[in-house]
Structure 1
Amino acid sequence: MVKLWWVGFLSLLMTLLLSGQGLTIPWAVIENRGRLLVGITEYDHRPLSFRDNEDNLQGLEIDIIHRLAQELLGNESAVEFIPLANNDRLRAVIDGKVDLAIASITVTRSRLRVVDFSHSYYLSGTALVSLQDSSISNNDTIAVLEGSSAIVLLKQNLPSVQLQGVTSYQEGLSLVAEGKVTAFAGDITLLTGWTQENPQYSLLPQVYGAYPLAIALPKGLQHQELRDKINQIMANLARQGWLQERIEYWGLR
């Protein structure tokens, strides 16, 4: 008797999960609320997300969210941006503190275990910034963050160069400014922003590796409608050329 009751309970539970009944449906909650709760980086990350001189949020990721709000809710301003530290980006999605997060988040296997991702909106990679607009020669010295994945890429693609470890972007860029190294290797989005603010530096044409950036979304059947809507919009924006136009507008490759 107990066994039959347990089987019946499991059957009912699966029916509810698959139908969405008896659960809080996040998309319905968002519609009733009338705005998206969006996690963004708390740091200036030009040209993805930063505040301009008038303290307005700008950047590729901000443009994407405003467009999503327009498509989903009919109002591009129907957004509440919630700044997050890097370590809190995924946790905020998992805990439901935000509906989604767009904060220079790279899609990785380990992250896919705890959150879902939208279609990628940009392929990032490792690039080089230098005071000279020329290619890297044998025996040049390149500064790179200690322990970063860029080290392997540089050794594979530029086996003759010397690598000098640094502990921060600022340290690496300072070594370039002082002429102690030829270039600094780092994330292309961060280095693009650096060269936009410091035009005396050049972003060299080579890009190593490819890291898809995407919107972090919550897992679970109850979130399927939200994920489907966002992925459909992102696919349309890519197909229509809007996404590439915004990438180029913000000076990204």
Structure 2
Amino acid sequence: MRKLNIMFIIALLAFLLAACGSEEGTDSSEESGENASGDSQEFDLVEDGKLTFAASGEFKPFSFMKDGKMVGYDIAVAEAIADKLGLEAVQQKAKFAAIVTGVKQGRYDIAVASHTITEDRLKEVDFSEPYYYSGPVIYVRPDSDIESAEDLKGKEISVSRGSTYVAIAQEYTENIPQVDSDVVALQSLAKGHHDAVITDKITGQTAIDNGLEIESRGQLGVSEQAVAVPKEKDKLQEAINQALKELKESGKLKELAMEWIGVDITAKPEEAK
């Protein structure tokens, strides 16, 4: 009888332990599933489980084409953010001037395309914390008589269509040819067209390093570049900010900047005088 009781107790204990283990396993699995897919659904993405981001592919070294895909600093940052969010990064190439509209209309989840945070753009989309800092610079041919911003008055200044440089150029002239990309503007300048180009410092320096015969004649300020996010997508914006914070703190963002740009552009510089 005692032997039967002992066997019954052992069997009962085994049953209870198995039930507890099964219950815990189920809870853990379900919780994991909710975290993996729940966030994705909460973000209300273009495609569940994927982060669709837009860039121009015409802004070397930030985004440019290689072997049929976009690469560059912007692209690397977008992919790092997607990885932090547990999502698959899906790139979409678009004309720079149309990217903000595409984000606003929901064609893209976000844009990682070197957009400067401006009041006008904030009316259309929201922005993350900056993922790099730069600033507009005056570029001219070596034989130009333009030495500073004051010399730009009345000159022909070419800029990228849809960029913040349009408004800056308007402070000096009404003669502002707009082209599809900053690189095109700089190439045209080097060939003898236009009097000057206003564009990003890194883009101009990269063009010079690649042999383009142009020179810098002064920086016009400091700008903050950030990820564009659709309005009312607070959860997505918060998640991107958290991802960027982790990328900065771990040194990964700086690592990507050094890889693609050659300098650390992730720390805010002092305002240009």
Q: Taking structure 1 as the reference length, what is the TM-score of the superposition?
A: 0.66
Q: Retained in 1: the 8 A contact 2:55–2:96?
A: no
Q: Retained in 2: the 8 A contact 1:123–1:210?
A: yes
Deviation at 1:96, TM superposition (A): 2.0
2: CA distance, partners of 1:69 / 1:229: 10
Q: How does 1:37-48 map to 2 (within 5 A)?
A: 37-41=52-56, 43-48=57-62
The amino acid across from 1:245 in the alignment is E
2: CA distance, partners of 1:100 / 1:240: 23
1: CA distance, partners of 2:105 / 2:193: 47
1: CA distance, partners of 2:58 / 2:200: 14
Q: Among residues 201, 225, 232, which one is paired with 1:213 in the alignment? A: 225
2: CA distance, partners of 1:57 / 1:171: 20
Deviation at 1:168, TM superposition (A): 4.6
Match of 1:117 in 2: 127
1: CA distance, partners of 2:47 / 2:214: 48
Change beyond 3 A, Cα 1:225–1:193: same
Bigger Rg over Cα: 2
Deviation at 1:121, TM superposition (A): 1.2
2: CA distance, partners of 1:32 / 1:148: 34
Matched, 1:201 2:219: no
Deviation at 1:174, TM superposition (A): 4.2
Q: Retained in 1: the 8 A contact 2:52–2:90?
A: yes
1: CA distance, partners of 2:111 / 2:250: 23
Q: Retained in 2: the 8 A contact 1:129–1:184?
A: yes
1: CA distance, partners of 2:110 / 2:60: 20
Change beyond 3 A, Cα 1:94–1:107: same
Matched, 1:57 2:70: yes
Deviation at 1:212, TM superposition (A): 1.4
Q: Retained in 2: the 8 A contact 1:124–1:211?
A: yes
Change beyond 3 A, Cα 1:245–1:130: farther
Provide, for residues 117-159 of structure 1, a one-character-per-residue CA deviation record: whole Å limited to 9, x for no partner.
0011122322244565xxx758978862388344478x7xxxx
Deviation at 1:173, TM superposition (A): 4.7
Could you tell me which runs of 5 or more consecutive residues in structure 1 were left unpaired when the two chains were aligned: 1-23, 156-162
Change beyond 3 A, Cα 1:97–1:174: closer
Identity of aligned residues (%): 23
Q: Retained in 2: the 8 A contact 1:38–1:81?
A: yes
Matched, 1:92 2:102: yes
Q: Retained in 1: the 8 A contact 2:116–2:225?
A: yes
Number of residue-to-residue matches in the alignment? 213
Deviation at 1:204, TM superposition (A): 3.4
Change beyond 3 A, Cα 1:25–1:249: closer
Could you tell me which runs of 5 or more consecutive residues in structure 2 were left unpaired when the two chains were aligned: 1-38, 160-164, 266-273
Change beyond 3 A, Cα 1:166–1:112: closer
Q: Among residues 167, 182, 189, which one is paired with 2:177 in the alignment? A: 167
2: CA distance, partners of 1:140 / 1:28: 48
Match of 2:48 in 1: 33
2: CA distance, partners of 1:120 / 1:95: 22
2: CA distance, partners of 1:117 / 1:234: 12
2: CA distance, partners of 1:209 / 1:46: 21
1: CA distance, partners of 2:40 / 2:203: 37
**Higher RCO by CA contacts (8 Å cutoff, separation 6 or greater):** 1
Question: Secondary structure of 2:113's partner?
Answer: coil
2: CA distance, partners of 1:97 / 1:176: 36
2: CA distance, partners of 1:171 / 1:32: 35
Change beyond 3 A, Cα 1:107–1:32: closer
Deviation at 1:240, TM superposition (A): 2.9
Match of 1:229 in 2: 239
Q: Retained in 1: the 8 A contact 2:156–2:194?
A: no
Provide, for residues 48-94 of structure 1, a one-character-per-residue CA deviation record: whole Å limited to 9, x for no partner.
11112x22321111000111121111x6xx12212223343222222
Question: Secondary structure of 2:136's partner?
Answer: strand
